[in-house]
């Protein structure tokens, strides 16, 4: 199949056992943070029927949740034009247009216009502050990594705006940004009820974390997923994530 020349070299990869995803060979691609976010979100709200994914990029988390929640209808918001184009293609190629609607725009603005409330809201914000931007970086990758349109704070405040009572907000970020997550949660009237730390390669410290937020306080739960052990072998946790995707 041919794609717009502006996309550059494209690969067609399997996201889950049943879904494929188009992504640029040298652009923004799905990764372990997307899979971990979808995994934690599904564990938290396996029966959610209304799901919103903030800053959904090419659709990695959004499509995965559509697969794990076959009775749900979903909404995605993405501002970056190229990613939004590819998002539409990924929804079309997996025949999910009847269940997924998408908005092209800044999540901070789009959520102001949404009247519905969601049982599950997810987001994988950019990790890196503006002063780390590299002018030579591919623009699509840059917008997925650099906080040009805000970071985890913006995702938390936007998510709280459209979260249903009793719902859950699941966001991913640099493990070291937990103070920002806690501050943003407090400012939005939310409580951090769980944290899953993701260790890419033991015994190194966690690379990122997935936090679960809710309006009502709960006993805090701290978990961990280790993807490779000290001998550079894949772990049972890594196998768990693969099984979660149907592999």
Number of domains in the chain: 1
Number of residues in the chain: 247
DSSP type of residue 128: B
Element (H, E) at 52: strand 50-54
Write out the DSSP string of 171-211.
Answer: EEEEGGGHHHHHHHHHHTT-EEEEEEEEESSTTSPPSEEEE
pLDDT one digit per residue (tens) for the chain, 247 residues: 789 999 999 999 999 999 999 999 999 999 999 999 999 999 999 999 999 999 999 999 999 999 999 999 999 999 999 999 999 999 999 999 999 999 999 999 999 999 999 999 999 999 888 888 787 789 999 999 999 999 999 999 999 999 999 999 999 999 999 999 999 999 999 999 999 999 999 999 999 999 999 999 999 999 999 999 999 999 999 999 999 999 9
pLDDT, residue 107, reads 97
Query: What's the domain range around 108?
Result: 5-244
- Which residue in 21, 20, 57 sits closest to 37, CA to CA? 57
C-beta separation of 56 from 62 below 8 A: yes
Which CATH number belongs to the domain containing residue 132 in this structure?
A: 3.40.50.150
Query: Strand 208-214 relative to strand 191-199: parallel, antiparallel, unpaired?
Result: antiparallel
Element (H, E) at 10: strand 10-14
Tokens of 169: 């907000």
Q: pTM value?
A: 0.96
Using alpha carbons only, what angle is made at residue 225 by residues 224 and 227, rounded to the nearest 5 degrees? 150
C-beta separation of 107 from 54 below 8 A: yes
């Amino acid at each position: 199949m041919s794609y717009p020349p502006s996309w550059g070299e494209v690969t067609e990869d399997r996201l889950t056992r049943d879904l494929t995803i188009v992504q640029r060979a040298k652009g923004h691609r799905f990764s372990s943070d997307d899979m971990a976010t979808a995994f934690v979100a599904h564990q938290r709200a396996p029966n959610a029927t209304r799901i919103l994914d903030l800053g959904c990029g090419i659709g990695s988390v959004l499509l995965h949740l559509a697969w794990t929640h076959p009775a749900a209808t979903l909404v995605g918001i993405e501002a970056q034009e190229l990613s939004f184009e590819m998002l539409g293609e990924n929804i079309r190629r997996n025949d999910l247009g009847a269940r997924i609607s998408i908005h092209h725009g800044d999540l901070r603005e789009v959520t102001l216009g949404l009247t519905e409330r969601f049982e599950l809201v997810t987001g994988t914000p950019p990790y890196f502050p503006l002063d780390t931007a590299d002018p030579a970086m591919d623009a699509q990758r840059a917008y997925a990594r650099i906080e040009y349109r805000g970071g985890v704070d913006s995702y938390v405040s936007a998510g709280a705006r459209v979260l249903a009572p009793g719902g859950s907000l699941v966001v991913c970020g640099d493990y070291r940004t937990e103070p920002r997550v806690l501050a943003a949660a407090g400012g939005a009237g939310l409580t951090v009820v769980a944290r899953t730390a993701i260790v890419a390669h033991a015994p190194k410290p966690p690379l990122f974390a997935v936090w679960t937020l809710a309006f009502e306080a709960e006993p805090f739960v701290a978990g961990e997923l280790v993807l490779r052990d000290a001998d550079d072998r894949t772990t049972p946790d890594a196998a768990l994530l693969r099984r979660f995707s149907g592999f």
